[in-house]
Each structure stands twice: as C-alpha cells, then as structure tokens.
Amino acid sequence: MKKGLLFVLLLVSLVGFGQCISEITQQSQIDNFAAQFPNCTDLDYLYIHGNNITNLHGLSQITSANVLIIANTEIQNFEGLESLETVSENFLIQENNSLQNFIGFSSLTFLYYVRIYSNNNLTSFQGLDNLESVGSSFHIAGNELLNSLNGLQGLISAGNFSIGDSRITNLEGLNNFSNTGYLGLSNNSQLINLEGLDNLDTIESLGISENSNLINLSGIENLAEITSSVNLYFNENLVSINTLSEVGPIDYYIALNFNLSECAINSVCQSIFQNPDYSVYIDENGTGCNSVPEVEAQCQLKISETDFSKNLSVFPNPVSFILNIESSNNISFEKAKVYSTLGKLILETSEKQINLETLSAGIYFVEVVTDKGSVKKKIVKE
C-alpha cells in the first residue's frame, strides 16, 4: 500500500513538471507560454536562450523554479517575471548583450547559487531590490559596463560574494550586506575603495587582487573579525591596509602591491609573532613591506615605542600653569621641548616641571628626551 502511494505521488510530481517546458529558444514560445502551459507556475528547470528573444512578457505566471538559465538573448530587462519569488538551485544570467538591469524581478527574495556573467551592457542591479539572501555563492564577472551595485540594497547575506571585471568605483549598494564567507574583488579597474560595506561585521576570507586603481580599504571600518585569511595581490596603487588592523591574527598573503609600504598593522604583527599558528607571506611590495623579516622589524619597533611611551607620563592635560613629567626608574629624563602645531620650538628645559603660564591657549606638542630615546605628546593649554 505504501509503495503504491509513493508511486502515485512520484507520478503526480513528474506529471506536474512534465506540463512545463524546459527549454525556450524562440520569442513565439514565450508569447504563447500562458496558452500552452496554463498550469505551469512552479518549474524544475528552464533554459531560455536565443538571439531572437527580446522580452519575457509571456512568463508572468511563473512563481518559482529550481534552475533558471537565461543566456544569449536580446532582452533589456526581466519584465514578465514579476511573479517569480525564489530560484532554489541555480540562477544563471550570462551573455545577454542587450541586458541593462534586473527590472522585472520585483518579487524575488531568495536565490541559492547566482552567476551573472558577461552581460556586456549591464550597468546596475536595479530591480533586485527585494533580494535578501543568497544561500550559496553570488558571482559577478565579465560585465564590462557594470558601474554600480545599485539594486542590491536589500541583500543581507550570501554564502560567498565575488565581483570581477567591472567598472565599479566602490561598493555602494551593499550597505545592508552583513554576512558572507568569502568576499572577493578582482580586476575591477576603477575600484578606489570599499565604501558601501558599512554593516559588514564578520567574514571568513578576503581576497583582493588586480584592482589597478584601488588606493585603500576604507569602507570596512566596522569589520570586526576575519576568521581565516586575507589575500592582497597585485593592487599596484594600494597604499594603506590600516582598516584591517583589528581583525585579529589570520593567514596573510601580501604580494606585488608596489606602493604598499606600511604593513606593520596590529593584525599582521600578531600573525607574525604567533607563527606557526598562522601563515604569513609578504613579498615585492613597497619599501618597508618587502618581506616578513622587514615587517617583523617594524612590528618590533612599534612594540618598543609603545612600551617606551607607557613608561612616561605628562600631566595634567589639559594644563593651565605647570606641566609635570614623570618617568619610570629605568628611564633617565634628559630634557623637554615644547613646539607649536607648526613645528616651531617655543621652549627647551631640563626641568621636569615646565611653566606654561605665558603660553596662549591652544594645542602644543611636548617632546620628552631620555637616555632610551624620545617621544612626543600632544597637550592642550587652557
């Protein structure tokens, strides 16, 4: 009895899918879709391709699909698919040379695997505004005119997210994106920074390569943790990675970023000092970031400067009259110099108590010179 019931259910399922066409190659098939397949709303597989296909207006009854592939058509948008809510497996949009945006996908809220590839006139993601989640990977590549991620404002999470070969200058449009595994940015020739990732908090890995105009990584200041690795490769104008300073010790690969001279940020230093727990490869960047030993020396120097500064105190700050200098027993005070904000020397003394009563209110710098070196402190004169 149970076997018979299972057979009936399977037969019904197959009949249901059998009522739906799996491949469309002509505009006439789309135009006559509702008349020929009136009960076809939930699809297993649909492959739409053909350079005589110019619109999808006849597909308005479709509400879901397991696999949807649209390739090599002449459509400009996706008007006609306004009822489509989910694609549970593969969603592939590729080589549609007239496609400009995603208008028509207004009901689409979930996708599983996404590949947007080589749509040469695509300029934005306008129309995907209600897409909230991508279960697996979201790959965008080879869309030569893509200059904006506008339309992805609703996207909150994706298993992985990558974009390459585009003309985007930043990541505005991903402002609500908070959760992903791998974030990859490659060969985006106009990309300058990562502005737009305001809500990105934790990721597994970051890969940034061959973005020839990328200057810095500003935009990920709220990124609290990277759990696995960072790969920075051949970004020839990259000069700063300071926004990665507090992401924790991780594996680093930093190479061929010819203008990057400062790599001794906290997370890199932590990764070097905790070797072999973490793998760090640094090579052929700017002077100061050419090798692991070179960066390690800078890290050691920063630690020394920090420890040195902790053993000196200058108070009160703000100060009205007398500024006091105190040092630990292992540091011998020699003299102090007071400078204006323009770097002009105002006074020099060998006393640990400095009378600043005659100075105008404002900001000054005090250089404390000792037998272990010197350190500058900013003070405010009231």
Res. 6: pLDDT tops 50? no
Confidence of residue 275 (pLDDT cuts 50, 70, 90): confident
Average pLDDT, whole number, for the chain? Answer: 91
Instruction: Tell the CATH superfamily of the 312-381 domain.
Output: Immunoglobulins (2.60.40.10)
Q: For residue 91, name the pLDDT band (cuts at 50, 70, 90).
A: very high
pLDDT of residue 297: 85
Report residue 306's pLDDT band, with 50, 70 and 90 as the boundaries.
low
234: which 2 tokens?
């051949």
The two three-digit tokens of residue 369, written as one number: 């010179």
Which residues have CB under 8 Å from 140's CB, separation 6+? 116, 117, 146, 162, 163, 164, 166
- Residue 298 has a pLDDT of 84
Provide the residue ranges of all domains of the chain, joining segments of one domain with +.
17-168, 312-381
Q: Which residue has the tokens 């009901």?
A: 107
Residue at token pair 């005659």? 358
Evaluate whether 17-168 and 312-381 have a shared fold.
Answer: no
Phi, psi torsion values for 216, nearest 5 degrees: -150, 180
Q: Is the pLDDT of residue 3 over 90?
A: no
Given this model, what pLDDT does residue 307 score?
A: 67
Q: Summarize pLDDT for 312-368 with one digit per residue, the tens.
A: 889 999 999 999 999 876 678 899 999 987 788 999 999 999 999 999 999 898 988
- Tell me the CA distances in angstroms from 293 to 260, 267, 281, 289, one per residue in order: 16, 16, 10, 9
Q: What percent of the chain has pLDDT over 90?
A: 80
Q: How confident is the model at residue 303 (pLDDT cuts 50, 70, 90)?
A: low
Residue at token pair 């507090």: 246
Mean pLDDT over 371-379 rounds to 80
Q: Does domain 17-168 fall into CATH 3.80.10?
A: yes
Banded pLDDT at 18 (limits 50, 70, 90)? very low
| Statement: residue 239 has pLDDT above 60 | yes
Q: Quote the pLDDT of residue 14.
A: 39
